[in-house]
Structure formats: structure tokens, C-alpha cells
Structure 1
């Protein structure tokens, strides 16, 4: 008769453990392949916690949540309009989007995980792919000139010379691009939709490759279009980085890049430029090792 009692005690213990689980509210802009992949990745890595997914503008997130995770610019803006003090990690916010939040007051309860590629990683990637690279070229629009200081600091840390030029108007792009390519070993794209868009892509790629210069970045969608390589964060990388940020001592109002990342390259572009096919996994491991030794 003792066995049923032991089973009942064990069941009671398991049920009490469940009561300790955190409730994680995930606020998404809409139901997409990306949002589903991210939520699934988050759920698989937090099996003891309960995830409640809320589509922006439909239900309200309960105040009982231990953590809020927002996806994208609109969800972050929604969160900043709330008076709640629930710890929040805002994901999939770009540097371009961050500029739009310049005048917003960010409470200490909100941290931001950027979706834009980290400048240090992009420059390290360029160094690994182009071993004799000394100068990295950078183009930026007037709206994104404020990003230049991040790249200058990253270039100094990596021992790279940065040759940067601004593009005030669209008709200046060919001339500024030629200037940058003539003075640098590689063109590194930044998160600047005014320049790096479908309309300018042909000019950027054809002009660069005509001068035997590669384009690094600015993001994963550009790889299929003809960029050589980039660092980026998959939904799994972003989920792991959310968990890491949540488990670490809270950093009030912090803006950071995901700790986990991946590398994506275009083998065909590498071949056409006479470069060896990139090993994305090895490139990621080498960049990560460099970060961990600093």
C-alpha cells in the first residue's frame, strides 16, 4: 500500500514544480513564418515555462507575465507606450528602427536585441574572407550618418582602416560608390534602407564586382541577390540570445546584439571572384572564438 502513496507524493511534487514556471508573454506583429519559427525556437528552449503568444492589437498581455518578448518595431513602440514594469526584451529591432526611437524614453525594464549585423562581426568576417584586407569601404545616407561612429569604433578594435563617404542624394551614389571602391579593399553594407534597397542593388553589385571588390552584408536577404557573405541571427540564434539575456543580471535599458549568430555566404559569388568557397560554420566558429578571447 506504500507505492500509491509514494506516487501521489511524487505527483504532488511535480505539480508544485509546475507552479514555479514563469509565464512568458510574446507579442508579435502578425502571424508569419518568421514569428512562428521564433516562437517555436523559444518554446523548445524554455520547456518548463509557459509561453503566451499575443498578436499586436488584439488581446492585452496579462500583468502576471514574468517576461515580455516583443518582435519588431511596432511591438516595441506598443510596449514603450505601456506603463507596465514587466521586464521586456525587444527583438528584431534594426539600427534604422532605433533611429526612429531616438526621442522615445526607454524605461529601465526594457532591453533591446538588435537584428542588424554587429559591425565588429562584419569586419572580422571580411578579414577572414579577404586575408589581405586593410581598408573597409562604407557608404551611408544622411539619415544613417549617426551609425558611422559605431563602425569607426569597430574598425579601430579590429585594426582596420575605414574609408566612409556619405550619399546625400540618389544621383550621387555612382560617384560616391566609385570613390569608396577605389580607396578600399571591400565594401561593407550597413543597415541603411535608403541606400541598400532593390532599386540600388544592381548599381552596388555590378560596380563593386567590376572592380573586383566584394560586398559584405548588409543582411541575409542580400546574399541570394549577390552579396558575398554576412553574419546574421536565425530565429534559433535570437531565441537563445533572449534566454541568455533573461538569465543574466538585468541590464536596464540595454541595447545589445544577439550573443548567438550564424554566417551565410554565396558560393557562386566567391567562385566568380576566384575565392575559395566559404565554410559558414567554420567562419562563425572563428569569429565567435575571437569574441570570446577579447
Structure 2
């Protein structure tokens, strides 16, 4: 019969064994899939592995993916890009899935208005309201906001109107179905103080970037957004989320029961990218970007 000390040792061993079992039971198998595995992807995998030391993280190339229905439903799947969203949404079965680097316009083309169960989209494009707050803070006199939209992005205009009306801003929207016809662009610039760039590749792409920037800045009308490429080329500023911001959101989701996941979210944390040279040429001072981020975060908490 064990002594009192022996009983304590037995209990301690049982407790340690239980803790080890619970840690093992909570460990997740996380599979990340993408079409390429370059340096950026490897950096993402490494960061996720460091952030989830209790879990098993692996990368798998797209051509090696089994059907989602054949995958372990207790695992977690992280997919990169719209093509893999299209692949995943074709199956009603499959593990809980987080999809990255998909914009709302891209998802609308693939899903229409559907919200397939078991899939959450972590949007790549900035929230409309966050971009409007950026305009309010950086361009307080920009009350008339011009918006170009195409066949795929028209659904965003009503949301933008609602968000703008809450702050007394006017949305001047113009349908631009053919980028070779610049008349809609000039019409929207005729009645706008700032041009709001929607993340719609039909409108904002390498073929249109020169026309958009020369036309808007020829009238001294700044362009806000839509992507980092446009900021570098001559857009004034935009909010965006980087890899660290995405990882924060992914970690929070992986720690939750997938049954509680919403259909989509934006990363809560974000950064601001600015083109200071464009700001100086337009006479616009954007101030300290960290202070600007703090102000925008405060507006999202107390609009």
C-alpha cells in the first residue's frame, strides 16, 4: 500500500499524464495550400509554425491536394487565393477552412451571395468604412467622393453609400464598363474631391493605372487605394493588413470552435501605406502614420 508521499507522487504523475494528454488532444493538424511555395509563402509557414508550437503545420502544393471530403474533418485547412476558394466551395464536406488573399469582388464572382458552411474568408481588400475613415482624417475637406465601379463591383456601391451617409459624405458613383472609354472617368472627376478606388481588377490594373493617375492628378484629385501597387505608382494612401495582422486573426480563429466562425471577417489590426511624394505635390500632409492608424482604430471602436 503506497505511503502518503507515494500517493502524492502517483497523483502528480496522473496529473502530468492528464495534462500531456490534454495538450496532445488540443493539438491541431493545420494544412496550408497554395499554388506556389516561394520565399513569401515559406515565411508565412515559418511564422505560423512559431505562433502555433502546439500544433502540426505543413504546406501542401495545390496539385497534391486530395479532395476536401477525403481530408480529416478534425484538421484545419488554410487556402491561399481565389482558385483554391473555388476548389473548396465545390464540396459541402471538408475540414474547417480559412481562405486568404481573396477580395470581396473575387469572392462574389465565385460564390455569388452564397456562404458555404465550414469556410471563412479573411478579406484581402480593406473595409469600405475604414477607407472612408482614412479620407475623413487625411482629407477633411473631401466631402464629394467619386467611385468607379464595373460589372463585378456594383454591389459594393450601396454599402459605400450607407457608410458614407453616416458621416455626411456624398458618393458620386459612375459605371465604367469599358476602360477604353474614359468619359465615365472624367464625369466622376468633374464632381468629386477625392477618388475612392475599389479593389476591382477590371478597373484598376496595369492597363488603366496610367490613365487613372494622370487624369485624377491632372485635376489635383487624390486617389485613395485600392492596392499597394497603386500606392507605389501614385495613389495617395490606403489602409492594408500585412502578414502579421493576418496571423493575429488566424490565431484567434484557430483557437475558437469552427462552429462559431462567421462567414467572413476583416483583420482587426492594420497598417497605412502612403505616397509622401504625391502628398507633397498635392499639398496634403498626412502626418505621422502611427498616429493616423491609432485614430482610425479609435473611430472603429467609437465611430
Corresponding residue of 1:185: 193
Alignment of 1:38-117 (within 5 A): 38-60=44-66, 62-63=71-72, 65-103=74-112, 106-117=115-126
| Residue ranges of structure 1 left out of the alignment (5+ in a row) | none
Q: CA shift at 1:207, angstroms?
A: 1.3
- Distance change in 2, residues 1:69/1:276 (3 Å): same
Partner of 1:289, secondary structure, is helix
Alignment of 1:108-147 (within 5 A): 108-147=117-156
Partner residue of 2:210 out of 202, 206, 212: 202
Q: CA shift at 1:269, angstroms?
A: 0.8
Corresponding residue of 1:256: 265
| Residue ranges of structure 2 left out of the alignment (5+ in a row) | 1-5
1:274 equivalent in alignment to 2:283: yes
Contact 1:25–1:53 under 8 Å retained in 2? yes
* Distance (Å, rounded) in 1 between the aligned partners of 2:176 and 2:222: 20
Contact 1:227–1:266 under 8 Å retained in 2? yes
Q: Under a length normalisation based on structure 2, what TM-score does the superposition of the two structures give?
A: 0.85
* Deviation larger for 229-238 or 141-150: 141-150
Q: Cα deviation per residue 1:115-145 (whole Å; 9 max; x = unaligned)?
A: 1121111111111111222111101123322
1:153 equivalent in alignment to 2:171: no
* Distance (Å, rounded) in 2 between the aligned partners of 1:40 and 1:281: 27
* Aligned residue-pair number: 290
Q: CA shift at 1:102, angstroms?
A: 3.2
Q: What value does the CA root-mean-square deviation take over the aligned residues?
A: 2.6
* Distance (Å, rounded) in 1 between the aligned partners of 2:177 and 2:113: 26
* Distance (Å, rounded) in 2 between the aligned partners of 1:39 and 1:278: 35
Corresponding residue of 1:224: 232
Q: Under a length normalisation based on structure 1, what TM-score does the superposition of the two structures give?
A: 0.88
Partner residue of 1:24 out of 6, 30, 35: 30
Structure with more relative contact order (C-alpha pairs < 8 Å, separation 6 or more) = 1
Corresponding residue of 2:3: none
- Distance change in 2, residues 1:210/1:262 (3 Å): same
Partner of 1:144, secondary structure, is coil
* Distance (Å, rounded) in 2 between the aligned partners of 1:27 and 1:94: 18
* Distance (Å, rounded) in 2 between the aligned partners of 1:178 and 1:22: 53
Partner of 1:263, secondary structure, is strand
Q: CA shift at 1:45, angstroms?
A: 2.3
* Distance (Å, rounded) in 2 between the aligned partners of 1:119 and 1:104: 18
Partner of 1:163, secondary structure, is strand
Contact 1:24–1:67 under 8 Å retained in 2? yes
Structure whose alpha-carbon radius of gyration is higher = 2
* Distance (Å, rounded) in 1 between the aligned partners of 2:43 and 2:172: 38
Q: CA shift at 1:276, angstroms?
A: 1.9
1:35 equivalent in alignment to 2:38: no
Q: CA shift at 1:197, angstroms?
A: 1.0
Contact 2:176–2:184 under 8 Å retained in 1? yes
